[in-house]
Structure 1
Amino acid sequence: MTLPIRHRHGSLMERGFPWHEPMTADFEDLFERMNRFLQSASLTPSLTETMNWAPLADMHETDDAYTVECELPGMKREDIDVEITERELCISGELKEREREGVLRRRGRPTGRFEYRALLPTDVKAEDVQATLSDGVLTVTIPKAKAAKPRHIEIQG
């Protein structure tokens, strides 16, 4: 039985990678152009200027409503804005950094402007939306419109 011949030209590290400075410069140029494109496509000059972070949130659905539970520890009601349209929920605000004594050694909690957006799958009753803030969790209950509720149709004979 004959085995295939393997030509050894050395490992990649010995030969050097096939790309060096010219190709990495091309990638850097491509990433810079994509970044400029994404910034120009957005409605605002820079994504980082409008939103620093998005809070953690869960959305679940029942037969009658959608419920969004959004974690906003340390926030006051006055610092949170909840807006709803027929198809979208937007929770936004700003968590101001508190004054501390001493030197901050580690940061794990976000501060600054935040925004959470969720598209709603069906039409909702925007005038009946309720929001409550308790123990650092904002709960927004969004009732479904009548047309969105499933209805059993009896078949006539």
Structure 2
Amino acid sequence: MDESTGLAKSARSAWWAGHDPAVELQQLWGEVSRLFEHSAQPAEPARHWMPLVEEEDAGDAYLVRAELPGIPRESVNIEIDGRELQIHGAVEESGSGNALRRRSGSFSYGIRVPGDVDVSAVQADMAHGVLTVRLPKSGHVTRRTIEIGN
């Protein structure tokens, strides 16, 4: 065995003597976990979101249902301009935690219905956190803001 090889082995042995591989691995795992936790959390609360929406052709009308749980009807605006329906508003829910995230900010949804709509007969209702907009089919096109009824 050559003297330089012996020095290299003794230097390695001295380094490992002061280190526990299990502790090193645990520290590395902690750092990686913190990195993922930090990247998974938004820097600031979401300021814009889109509600879950379903659309249906009910024969004599188009139906649009949007899930808006906990959002007061006064915070929701609905407009129809010809075939263009827009639903928008804002919500501020307080509270936060590690497991439960609260919605905050504005929301919007827009659709172009496939046919002409009788805007004077459009109705909107909200029950149990679901907004339902009924757009009766028609042949003339105008613009109207729709109030939400009971």
With the length of structure 1 as denominator, give the TM-score of the two structures. 0.56
Per-residue CA deviations over 1:77-100 (Å, capped at 9, x if unaligned) read: 1000010111111000001122x3
Cα deviation digits, residues 37-80 of structure 1 (max 9, x gap): xxxxxxxxxxxxxx711100000002200000100000111000
Contact 1:72 1:138 (C-alpha < 8 Å) held by counterparts: yes
Query: Per the alignment, in what secondary structure is the counterpart of residue 49 of structure 2?
Result: coil
1:66 aligned to which of 58, 62, 67: 62
**Identity across matched positions, percent:** 40
Aligned equivalent of 1:52: 48
In the alignment, which of 68, 83, 86 is matched to residue 82 of structure 2? 86
What stretches of structure 1 move > 3 A for 4+ residues in a row? Answer: none
Question: Which structure dedicates a bigger proportion of its chain to strand?
Answer: 2
Q: Match of 1:124, as an amino acid?
A: V
List gaps (5 residues or longer) in structure 1: 1-50, 148-157
Residue in structure 2 matched with residue 141 of structure 1 by the alignment: 134
Looking at CA atoms only, which structure, 1 or 2, has the larger radius of gyration? 2
> Normalized against structure 2, the TM-score is what?
0.58
Deviation at 1:145?
Answer: 0.2
Query: How many angstroms apart in 2 are the aligned matches of 1:68 and 1:136?
Result: 14
Q: In structure 1, what is the Cα distance between the partners aligned to 2:139 and 2:79?
A: 21
Which deviates more, 87-96 or 51-60? 51-60
1:139 partner SS: strand
* 8 Å CA contact retained: 1:67, 1:142: yes
SS in 1 for 2:71: coil
Q: CA deviation at 1:110?
A: 2.8
C-alpha contact (below 8 Å) 1:97/1:112 kept by paired residues: no
RMSD across aligned C-alpha pairs, in angstroms? 1.7
Whole-Å Cα distance in 1 between the matches of residues 105 and 90 of structure 2?
5
Structure 2, unmatched stretches of 5+, are: 1-46, 141-150
